[in-house]
Structure 1
Amino acid sequence: MSQALTLARPYARAAFALAREAGALPAWSQALTFAARVAAEPQVAALLGHPALRVEDAVELLAPEGADERVRRFLALLAENKRLALLPEIADLFEALRLEAERVVKARVTAAAPLGPAEIEKIKAALRRRFGREIEVETAQDPSLIGGAVIDAGDVVIDGSLRSKLERLQTVLAS
């Protein structure tokens, strides 16, 4: 995995530079995410590794409809260099660069019960104050948390779940 990241990093940086120069970061992000999802499919992955696959066919398969010509040329470069298998890593690294450039933190909020729009807004406002950046929130549900929520925002994890509080209480009582 670390070798794949090492190989993918210069391609992600190059894609980011091209997208930034064109003022098309969101479009590139969508195109690379689409291409990465397609390339990760087992049947497609086997096809992409086939020596008889032409570069043009690989680009046609991976490029989303209406993709910018620069995106298509980037995918062609990956195909020519036999690096299409790195698309998932390239897309992830590109997304991290985009979020950093746009000063956005992506947070995943896992709660015991569904969260309403007002609760999500409160969480976003608190995270905005903490990080000084815009926040993109993705929500998930995990009933095993019993109550509360766990917020994962990059390097920061805030565990406010009832389950973890009960576990800490149990540890204290057992000592």
Structure 2
Amino acid sequence: MSELTTVARPYARAAFEFAVSNNNIDAWSTMLSFVTEVAQDATMAKILTRDKAPQELAELFLNICADQLDENGQNFIKVLAENGRLSVLPRVAQLFAELETEYNKEVDADVVSAYALTKTQQNELSKSLEKRLARKVNLNCSIDKTLIAGMVITAGDLVIDSTASGQLTRLSHTLQS
């Protein structure tokens, strides 16, 4: 995975910087999402792993995606094909999305709670996290009945565990110290 990231990162960064300079981030995000779906198709994935000429791969890819890509997007696909990197398109799109989130000063927060949160609770939690993290927070809420009470919030490197079992574990460690 890290090797794939190392290969994909320069392409994602170049695409993102180009999109920012042309004020075209949303269009690039849409294009990359589409070509990712094409690259992940089982038939296309097999074709991408075969030895084919870069021009042939680019032409095939562009025939499938032509209506969804602008001229710059088509050039991007040609560059990836010339360098034998079409198979890293899904990781390029993922890294592009991460750069977009960082650029927009947003963070995704996964909230796992014992019970469903009301809209009011979600709004209060979102405001509190936005204040703490100094960025816009997108909540992804889910329910895990095994937690009994409380919630676990994960936002990037930040993890807040306010579950009953988490509190009991911390109390146990404190008492053993």
TM over 0.5: yes
Change (3 A) 1:110 1:18: same
For the residue of structure 2 that corresponds to 1:51, the secondary structure is: coil
In the other structure, the counterpart of 2:25 is 25
AA aligned to 1:13 is R
In the other structure, the counterpart of 1:34 is 34
* Alpha-carbon shift at residue 73 of structure 1 (Å): 2.1
AA aligned to 2:58 is V
- TM normalised by structure 1 equals 0.84
Distance 1:130 1:100 in 2: 16
Distance 1:106 1:172 in 2: 31
Instruction: Say which is worse superposed, 85-94 or 45-54, in terms of deviation.
Output: 45-54
Q: How many percent of aligned residue pairs carry the same amino acid?
A: 37
In the other structure, the counterpart of 1:8 is 8
Distance 1:123 1:157 in 2: 14
Distance 2:154 2:41 in 1: 27
Distance 2:44 2:13 in 1: 25
Alignment RMSD: 2.4
AA aligned to 2:57 is R
Structure 1 unaligned segments of length 5 or more: list them: none
Distance 1:117 1:60 in 2: 45
In the other structure, the counterpart of 2:60 is 57
- Greater C-alpha radius of gyration: 2
AA aligned to 1:54 is L
| Off by >6 Å, runs of 4+ in structure 1 | none
How many residues are aligned here? 174
For the residue of structure 2 that corresponds to 1:54, the secondary structure is: helix
* Alpha-carbon shift at residue 15 of structure 1 (Å): 0.6
Given the alignment of the two structures, is residue 132 of structure 1 paired with residue 134 of structure 2, yes or no?
Answer: yes
* Alpha-carbon shift at residue 71 of structure 1 (Å): 2.0
2:48 touches 2:57 (CA, 8 Å); kept in 1? no
Structure 2 unaligned segments of length 5 or more: list them: none
* Alpha-carbon shift at residue 88 of structure 1 (Å): 2.3
For the residue of structure 1 that corresponds to 2:68, the secondary structure is: coil
1:85-96 alignment to 2 at 5 Å?
85-96=87-98
AA aligned to 1:33 is S
* Alpha-carbon shift at residue 38 of structure 1 (Å): 3.8
